């Protein structure tokens, strides 16, 4: 039976650290007995100290609520008895229990010494695909009403309800899964093993009946998967050519409104496919671009019985297409559409390696928790795709051991082949009408002979403005210092007993001898540890020497390695060190390769554990060989090839973060033309492809002939003239006329005044991290915005998605972003009312690729500014501008601080690139008045 009694605790406090004097201001305890909530005790507590403004805004608890409340020493008389004979539960037990124990000790009450269950820890493996484990996010996902987040009574009750749901989920898991979870749970921080054992004991009392969609294979429970067969139409379907016919389909959508531009884009896509032509299509924000190409693609695919490939920029966007847009599409079509997702092999779990890793002794917390996550996930997933999982950084390291790689031994040695997720995805793609992939896979398919995507002749490339960069990355090379360290640790010396030792033991067991004695290889492995260290020191010294010459005070820098840099003594030292390292790597590779080939001859005699070890060594050696060849091509022979070489890293810790990169200055035009010639239809689409209504820049960047492409621009349906105003302040200095310190000072004062007028709800986009950081710090320290939440990329912890969510949760918030925040940030409605573009987004002149491109253009007699720099900045500006108005009901103000938009000859290129909006040239008092009147 499950434990009889849980006490679920939540505390609100004045801060995060009881050691620094933070106190409890509210406590709530919910009692659970026999899996029922039976009671709740809640009290405010007088902390005998001031409540900070931030805590007051977060919790709604103010001085008046606590001044008449009991002291903790008084409340403890009610609180402490409730803890007896209970398992202590909290959403982050370390926080609540530490505060509670500190206060109990101060009040001379006995400390709690029972077992604990952390619901964050429990949720992390029971809900392995959850985006966030914050209490409010979990509650929303699980359908638990959470009316007053950050108040202890509401938080404690919701935590109790979530605990009951989690106990129910534990009980629903297969016995074999629970058994393995229990074995791993001893490595967790709270006493979850007690709860799992109780569920196991209960399960052992009856015969288990598995749900129909589950199976147990090799003692691991899996969700069954099957190939969805393509259905051929038994009747002719006509593409809905008229607006009325399209409207008939689209009216099924909630809140559907006719968008003429969306219908026109559908016709453009269908006609391009039907006439075997190519097209450039720009679709403004709000058109509904995804459905505008998916609907005609589905009709064409069904009519002609051919697959259509859709490629988008990232795997996240792939999932959005599959889980949102294609679900909507399938709901309105009069016929079935089979869809499939194709990602790189490393996105999929290797079940053979996972099973093998479960037999390893696990002592690492992150590894144990990740194994537990995957065991639960395998009862739910039909894709085996890592992107579904929410892994910690330690979990990511573990994934590197169990991800799919090429197969070395005969497939018969892998008992998991028929359950393989990657092969399942490939088979499903062969049956699909629409195959959703990403630019990286499409680029690999284009530039290698791997044939990753089944035969296709029609492709629609969405987010096409990124396609050139992805192609360049595919043609390039990246040498990551950490990767070499990791590979070396996996191979290990004889005394470290890693893969080299294991392989040697295997060969010895079967009486196999190699021409290279293991003593020699072991000596080389000891020697390479020294050479690796020397090489890293030489690379770091060269990087730091060059970094000193850069004025940029940001710790993360990019430095081009050109002809002049290769004449320096630091480079020569790196070159000599590389040559020594390369030779040693070559010898070790030769020795281990020979051992691999001997092991392959033994494959019929290998145990499954031994076969898994050999596969792992093979994968590692493939990576070792690539790393070695990259080292040779980039550093030893780099000067012989017309490519751009640069280093990027953090000047504080170059050995941990340094990378050496190499890329061609331009794309392979011949290969690109072959790609276009080899397909019946290639459609490039994006919200930002054109510059001044021309696709010339985009075509030149890709190296494809513009004249072969049909061209269409469908403007946004939003009423920008009514819903948006563009302000260019006329009392801000030109940045080149003042010091950067003075400019940041003016900017901080201006933004503080604007923030108070807009009541926060402001996104500020920078082109320089330095300026972002300095502006943020000045505004933070000014004291003018004490009741505002300031969130800054690179300063506030979290990904772009997490920072954006954080911004949306607070009424008075300002979000500072650079680089990636110029696109892909979607904040509709009143959460965002003011967008600030600090500078026009020109690429920094010292960017290595930008420099190389400029040199190539000058060699062709072209002006790099007008052929490359300006068009790129205009497209980036359009992306930034598009962050504000995300729906037809949105209203807002855009402020551009860079006066070059009106003073420079090229400024009109930016104005002409965006929809027509009222433009005001006003001073700060007038800006404030405009904002107050407008919002």
* CB-based contact 491:499 (threshold 8 Å): yes
Cα–Cα nearest to 8, from 73, 87, 65, 109: 87
Residue 277 backbone class (left: φ over 0; alpha: ψ -120 to 50; beta: rest): beta
Residues 6+ apart with CB under 8 A from 251: none
* CB-based contact 165:122 (threshold 8 Å): no
Q: How far is CA 801 from CA 132, 148, 752, 809, 881, in A?
A: 11, 23, 25, 13, 19
Name the phi and psi angles at 36, rounded to 5.
-135, 140
Strand segments, DSSP code E, in 114-165 are 116-118
- Alpha carbons within 13 A on the beta-carbon side of 370: 25
**C-alpha span between 361 and 392 (Å, rounded):** 20
Q: How far is CA 346 from CA 343, 421, 422, 482, 619, in A?
A: 8, 11, 9, 18, 11
Say if residue 798 carries a ligand binding annotation: no
What's the distance, CA 221 to chain centroid?
28
* CB-based contact 326:294 (threshold 8 Å): yes
DSSP string, 414-448: -TTGGG-HHHHHHHHHHT-SEEEEEHHHHHHHHHS
Residue in the structure block whose two tokens are 């959703």: 436
Using CB atoms within 10 Å of the CB of residue 66, give its burial: 0 to 12 exposed, 13 to 18 middle, 19+ buried.
buried
Residue in the structure block whose two tokens are 């987010």: 463
Residues 6+ apart with CB under 8 A from 661: 476, 477, 478, 479, 645, 646, 647, 648
* CB-based contact 863:826 (threshold 8 Å): no
**C-alpha span between 398 and 354 (Å, rounded):** 10
Cα–Cα nearest to 117, from 184, 48, 194: 194
* CB-based contact 818:772 (threshold 8 Å): yes
Say if residue 288 carries a ligand binding annotation: yes
Q: In 10 A of CB 929, how many CB atoms?
A: 13
* Three-state SS letters, 626-670: HHHHHHHHHHHCHHHCCEEEEEEEECCCHHHHCEEEEEECCCCHH
For the chain, the C-alpha Rg in angstroms (whole number) is: 31
Using CB atoms within 10 Å of the CB of residue 147, give its burial: 0 to 12 exposed, 13 to 18 middle, 19+ buried.
exposed
Q: In 10 A of CB 767, how many CB atoms?
A: 21
**C-alpha span between 99 and 14 (Å, rounded):** 11
DSSP string, 302-345: HHHT--EEEEESSHHHHHHIIIIIHHHHHHH-SS---EEE---G
**C-alpha span between 136 and 149 (Å, rounded):** 7
Say if residue 289 carries a ligand binding annotation: yes
Name the phi and psi angles at 931, rounded to 5.
-65, -45
Say if residue 283 carries a ligand binding annotation: yes
Say if residue 290 carries a ligand binding annotation: yes
CA pseudo-torsion sign 613, 424, 291, 832: negative
Residue in the structure block whose two tokens are 């696109």: 823
Say if residue 114 carries a ligand binding annotation: no
Residues 6+ apart with CB under 8 A from 143: none
Residues 645-661, buried b or exposed e (16+ Cβ, 10 A)? bbbbbbbeebbebbbbb
Name the phi and psi angles at 461, rounded to 5.
-105, 105
Task: Name the binding residues.
Answer: 283-290
Instruction: Enumerate the known binding-site residues for ATP.
Output: 283-290
């Amino acid at each position: 039976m499950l434990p009889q009694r849980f006490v679920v605790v939540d505390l609100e406090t004045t801060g995060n650290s009881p050691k620094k004097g933070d106190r409890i201001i509210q406590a709530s305890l919910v009692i659970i007995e026999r899996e029922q909530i039976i009671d709740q005790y809640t009290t405010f507590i007088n902390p005998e100290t001031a409540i900070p403004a931030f805590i007051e805004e977060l919790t709604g608890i103010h001085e008046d609520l606590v001044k008449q409340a009991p002291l903790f020493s008084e409340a403890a008389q009610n609180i402490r008895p409730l803890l007896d004979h209970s398992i202590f539960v909290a959403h982050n037990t370390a926080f609540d229990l530490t505060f509670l124990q500190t206060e109990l000790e101060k009040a001379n009450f006995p400390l709690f010494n029972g077992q604990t269950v952390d619901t964050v820890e429990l949720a992390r493996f029971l809900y392995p695909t959850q985006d966030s484990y914050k209490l409010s996010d979990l509650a929303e996902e699980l359908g638990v009403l959470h009316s007053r987040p950050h108040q202890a009574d509401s938080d404690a009750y919701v935590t109790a309800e979530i605990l009951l749901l989690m106990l129910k989920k534990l009980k629903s898991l297969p016995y074999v899964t629970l058994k393995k979870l229990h074995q791993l749970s001893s490595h967790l921080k709270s006493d979850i093993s007690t709860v799992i054992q109780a569920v196991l004991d209960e399960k052992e009392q009856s015969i288990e009946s598995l749900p129909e969609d589950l199976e147990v294979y090799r003692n691991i429970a899996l969700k069954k998967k099957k190939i969805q067969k393509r259905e051929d139409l038994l009747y002719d379907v006509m593409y809905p050519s008229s607006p009325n016919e399209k409207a008939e389909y689209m009216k099924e959508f909630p809140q559907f409104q006719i968008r003429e531009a969306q219908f026109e884009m559908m016709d453009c896509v269908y006609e391009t496919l039907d006439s075997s032509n190519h097209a450039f299509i720009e679709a403004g924000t709000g058109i509904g671009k995804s459905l505008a190409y998916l609907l005609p693609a589905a009709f064409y695919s069904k009519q002609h019985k051919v697959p259509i490939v859709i490629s988008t920029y990232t795997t996240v966007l792939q999932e959005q297409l599959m889980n949102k847009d294609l679900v909507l599409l399938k709901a309105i079509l009069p016929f079935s559409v089979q869809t499939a997702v194709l990602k790189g092999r490393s996105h999929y779990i290797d079940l053979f390696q996972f099973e093998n890793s479960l037999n390893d002794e696990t002592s690492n917390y992150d590894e144990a928790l990740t194994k537990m996550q995957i065991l639960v996930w395998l009862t739910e997933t039909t894709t085996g795709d890592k992107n579904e999982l929410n892994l910690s950084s330690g979990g990511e390291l573990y994934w590197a051991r169990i991800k799919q790689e090429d197969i070395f031994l005969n497939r018969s040695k892998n008992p998991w082949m028929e359950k393989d997720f990657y092969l399942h995805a490939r088979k499903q793609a062969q049956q699909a009408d629409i195959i959703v992939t990403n630019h990286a896979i499409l680029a690999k398919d284009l530039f290698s002979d791997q044939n990753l995507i089944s035969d296709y002749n029609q492709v629609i490339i969405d987010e096409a403005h990124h396609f050139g960069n992805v192609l360049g990355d595919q043609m390039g090379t990246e040498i990551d210092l950490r990767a070499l360290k990791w590979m070396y640790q996996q191979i290990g010396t004889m005394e470290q007993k890693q893969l080299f030792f294991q392989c040697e033991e295997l060969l010895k067991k079967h009486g196999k001898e190699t021409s290279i004695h293991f003593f020699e290889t072991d000596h080389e492995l000891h020697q390479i540890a020294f050479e690796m260290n020397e090489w890293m020191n030489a690379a770091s010294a060269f990087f730091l020497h060059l970094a000193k010459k850069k004025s940029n005070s940001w710790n993360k820098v990019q430095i081009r390695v050109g002809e002049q840099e290769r004449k320096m003594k630091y480079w020569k030292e790196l070159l000599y060190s590389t040559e020594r390292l390369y030779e040693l790597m070559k010898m070790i590779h030769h020795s281990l390769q020979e051992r691999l080939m001997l092991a392959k001859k033994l494959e019929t005699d290998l145990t499954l554990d031994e076969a898994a070890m050999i596969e792992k060594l093979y994968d590692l050696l493939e990576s070792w060989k690539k790393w070695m060849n990259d080292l040779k091509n980039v550093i030893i022979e780099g000067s012989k090839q017309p490519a751009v070489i640069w280093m990027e890293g953090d000047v504080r810790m170059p050995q941990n973060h340094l990378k050496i990169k190499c890329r061609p200055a331009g794309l392979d035009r011949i290969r690109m033309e072959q790609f276009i010639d080899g397909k019946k239809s290639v459609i490039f689409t994006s919200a930002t492809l054109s510059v001044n209504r021309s696709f010339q820049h985009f075509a030149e960047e890709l190296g494809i002939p513009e004249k072969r492409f049909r061209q269409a621009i469908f403007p946004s349906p939003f009423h920008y003239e009514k819903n948006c105003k563009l302000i260019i302040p006329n009392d801000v200095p030109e940045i080149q006329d003042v010091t950067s310190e003075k400019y940041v000072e003016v900017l901080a004062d201006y933004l503080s005044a604007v923030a108070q007028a807009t009541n926060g709800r402001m996104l500020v986009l920078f082109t320089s991290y330095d300026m972002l950081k300095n502006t943020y710090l000045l505004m933070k320290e000014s004291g003018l915005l004490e009741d505002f939440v300031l969130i800054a990329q690179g300063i506030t912890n979290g990904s772009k998605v997490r920072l954006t969510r954080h911004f949306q949760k607070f009424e008075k918030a300002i979000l500072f972003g650079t680089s990636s925040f110029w696109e892909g940030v979607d904040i509709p409605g009143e959460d965002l009312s003011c967008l600030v573009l600090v500078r026009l987004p020109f690429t920094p002149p010292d960017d290595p690729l930008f420099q190389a491109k400029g040199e190539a253009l000058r060699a062709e007699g072209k002006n790099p500014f007008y052929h490359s720099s300006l068009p790129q900045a205009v497209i980036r500006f359009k992306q930034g501008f598009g962050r504000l108005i995300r729906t037809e009901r949105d209203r807002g103000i855009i402020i551009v601080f860079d006066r070059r938009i009106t003073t420079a000859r090229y400024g009109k290129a930016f104005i002409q690139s965006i929809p027509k909006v009222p433009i005001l040239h006003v001073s700060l008092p007038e800006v404030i008045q405009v904002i107050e009147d407008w919002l």
